[in-house]
Amino acid sequence: MTKTSAKDFYHLFSQETKDRKVSPLKTFIKYFGDPNMVFLGGGLPLSDYFPWDNIKVDIPVPPFTKGIGQPINKNATEITTLDLYKEKKVADGDIPLARSLQYGHSQGQPELLKFIREHTEIIHTMQYDDWELLVTAGNTSAWESTLRIFCNRGDTILAEAHSFSSSLSAAQAQGIITFPVPIDDKGIIPEKLAAIMDNWNPETPKPKLLYTIPTGQNPTGSSLDAERKSQVYKIAQKHDFLIVEDEPYYFLQMEDYVKDPSLRKEVKLSHDEFLASLDQTFLSIDTDGRVIRMDSFSKVLAPGSRLGWITCSNQIMKAYLALYEMSMQAAAGFTQSIVSATLSKWGQHGYLDWLLGLRHEYTLKRDNAIDACYKYIPQTDAFHINPPVAGMFFTITFDGAKHPEFTTKFKSDPLLLESYLYEKAVESGVIIAPGSWFITDGETIPPQPKESKESNNPNSVFFRGTFAAVAADKLNESLKRFGQVLHDEFKV
């Protein structure tokens, strides 16, 4: 079936993007590698002067039968050594260092792009034909570029009512208003988003984009299901905004939490079952080319690899490319060489084995954290645990009004109570992040109707913990201490 092309979104570009001209020095990149060309054009150092002739990297090999978290036995068949050379390729996916460490290929090295393209076709169902990829230095940087590409100072964007604070700060620092969209345990509430947009004050320009973390949301740990995604997408079409899905946790989707440990089964998924289990993405329902997806290797390989990619329409990708050519130029060459050689050695199947290994590890970690929450956090109606099905975070939510001194000592202010409990937790030796650190706080001038920001329970308070970073015994101990603080304070 022939697919249609993405729509034109030039009208949503920022003034900066509209003004940006492609650097003439970048136009001769297409002649790179042509043996008939004598290259006097650019300030490229000769690769003879690069001091790295060969890099050796030891990596584990699929199918990772002993799991992915164990120390690797160097003498066994569990490991292989990749040889990355300056000039030659040992395997197809290798990127010779002479090329990866040179200027050029701002979109990403072809071998890495090829692997990611195949991976994208396995994971998503692309609905239009002119989609493109761009290798990035991870989602933090990709998001910062996205803001510059679409927003002018004073523009408004939408974001989940609690969202990743660094992403909100990046927007606010650019003079962009971050307007909150109400959420519940399952993420964005489509009806509330529709109400905000349908009643948008016509005296202020409509938001240009929605920033969302659909899977394992940071900080709430929620995941947006296919039904809600489809509703949100239709609202985006109706009100003509773009959806930016920031998905570093997409492959940290887990088995559902089963409260009774004796009923838990070890699940071994085949590749097909694994793929079928993954949430449908915004990208997969995007017929217009209005979704920009940001993926990252940070949570699945290593944060310091500083590598990720954007998937979007060709038109939008060109705007990123023009910005990259004048800012970071390209993702780091060492990283691209090492990651590309690793992934191509593993192959698409081997990479799925790796992701399955992560699923197993994170399911165990999540189970341990939620078990400890149920054991140590007061189990009354005032307290709520939402076992996450993806990501690294869990939340402990409670009704602040149930604190015996809520109206007196805390003057009915949930934020005062929250900061007091935070200090108490620190005194007991636990750092757990207060929910208010993640509040999406922004308002247009003139403001939107006040109903747009109404919350179901204005006295609700939550704390965010992570099960990713600590060993099981430490996590148990910390929740025991925090649980004690809550028991003492709430007198339960």
CB closer to ligand PLP, 6 vs 392: 392
* Residue with smallest beta-carbon separation from ligand PLP: 138
Nearer to ligand PLP, 82 or 323 (CB): 323
Q: Cα Rg for the chain, rounded, in angstroms?
A: 24
* Rounded-to-10 torsion of CA 175, 179, 185, 186: -90
- Calpha distance 294→304 (Å, rounded): 17
- Which amino acid, residue 415? L
Euclidean distance between CA atoms 479 and 484, whole angstroms? 8
| Shortest Å distance, C-beta 127 to ligand PLP | 25
> Least distance (Å) from ligand PLP to the CB of residue 229?
17
* Residues in Cβ contact with 228 at an 8 Å cutoff, skipping those fewer than 6 apart: 186, 187, 188, 190
Instruction: Output 298 or 337, the one with its CB closest to ligand PLP.
Output: 298
- Nearest approach in angstroms of CB 423 to ligand PLP is 25
The contact set with ligand PLP (CB under 6 A) reads 138-140, 164, 213, 218, 246, 248, 296, 298, 303, 308
Closest CA to 435 of 419, 411, 450, 451: 419
CB-count burial class (<10 Å; 0-12, 13-18, 19+) for 417: buried
Nearer to ligand PLP, 140 or 368 (CB): 140
Cα separation, 152 vs 281, whole angstroms: 28
Residue 464 CB, nearest distance to ligand PLP (Å)?
A: 11
The Cα 440–Cα 450 span in angstroms is 15
- The smaller minimum CB distance to ligand PLP, of residues 17 and 296, is found at 296
Question: CB-wise, 136 or 204, nearer to ligand PLP?
Answer: 136
CB of 246 to ligand PLP, least distance (A): 5
From CA 294, how far away is CA 120, in angstroms rounded?
12
Residue among 102 and 140 whose Cβ is closer to ligand PLP? 140
The distance of closest approach from Cβ of residue 147 to ligand PLP in the complex, given in angstroms and rounded to an integer, is: 13
- Residue 78 phi, psi dihedral angles, 5° rounding: -80, -5
Cβ atoms of residues 398 and 486 within 8 Å: yes
From the list 141, 438, 169, 145, the residue with the least C-alpha distance to 303 is 141
d(CA 162, CA 156): 16
Name the residue nearer to ligand PLP (CB basis): 298 or 313.
298
What is the smallest separation between the CB atom of 470 and ligand PLP, expressed in angstroms? 16
- What is the closest distance, in whole angstroms, from the C-beta atom of residue 384 to ligand PLP in the complex? 22
What are the helix (H) ranges across 327-388? 333-376
Nearer to ligand PLP, 94 or 160 (CB): 160
Instruction: Tell me how far, at minimum, the Cβ of 465 lies from ligand PLP, in Å.
Output: 14
